[in-house]
Amino acid sequence: MRLSADYFETEIPTVSDAIVFITDTSNNAIITFSDVNLDGDFSPLTNFIPKDNTVYELTVIYKNETYKGRASKIKSPTFISVSQGDATLFSGKETEVKVTFQDDAEKENYYLFDFTNTSFLAEDRFFNGTPYNFSFFYQEDEITLPANVTLKMSGITKQYFTYFRVLLSQSGQNGGGPFETVPSSLLGNMINTTNETNFPLGYFHISETDTYNIDLKEKD
């Protein structure tokens, strides 16, 4: 958990003294979270595995104000195959990772991929219900071969897909600089139930995630 800071600040203040818990609305069971390392990252005190088709409510109490948001777990498919390829892009020194997974034809699906700290989004509009394969390219300055990298694929909602797409744009991954027009506040699904004018920035989402580790070899 973090506080907002001025644009040119080099450090973002963390929050470690908030009260954080999740409520299972099907039975009112409480899952309590704690910031054990005092670094702003809260973890459940007991093993927490979200159930299917269940609404969970996140509650954060900080400085006598209460913030709430609701979410249900979104499932994710598993990787069918992951392999290192030989293709390159512009410099000829990129490293290709070839990925295949099976999309679910019964509904619209949205995905968040994390390829070792590089995040990008996908939707199944053009490959609904089919095995989908694509290539991701690590740039020369991102990894040093040989290397072990972790790939993650998470199922997300359409609302979170839209939120994260705007977030990536405002974070500068799509260009811009410090003297561009200041972006507007990006509101998520968390609401301050105590003081609506002091709105939070952030999103409560529960994703099922498939993870794959692959050893990338030096090129011949």
pLDDT at 9: 74
Task: Say which residue, 56 or 201, is predicted with more confidence.
Answer: 56
- Within a domain: residue 99? yes
CB atoms within 10 A of CB 213: 9
pLDDT, averaged across the chain: 90
Summarised one tens digit per residue, pLDDT across range 144-203 is: 999 999 999 999 999 999 999 988 887 655 444 444 444 557 889 999 999 999 999 899
- Within a domain: residue 193? no
Compute the residue count for the chain. Answer: 220
Alpha helices in the chain (DSSP H): 158-170
- Within a domain: residue 144? yes
CB atoms within 10 A of CB 126: 8
- Within a domain: residue 39? no
Which domain CATH number covers 101? 2.60.40.10
Residue numbers of the domain that contains 125: 79-159+208-216
Q: Which range among 21-35, 57-71, 139-153 shows the weakest confidence by mean pLDDT?
A: 139-153
- Within a domain: residue 128? yes
- Within a domain: residue 200? no
- Within a domain: residue 179? no
Closest CA to 170 of 10, 11, 162, 196: 162
- Within a domain: residue 13? no
Summarised one tens digit per residue, pLDDT across range 80-112 is: 999 999 999 988 889 999 999 999 999 999 999
Q: Contact 120/153 with Cβ under 8 angstroms?
A: no
Number of folded domains in the chain?
Answer: 1
Provide the CA 49 distance to its chain's centre, in angstroms: 18
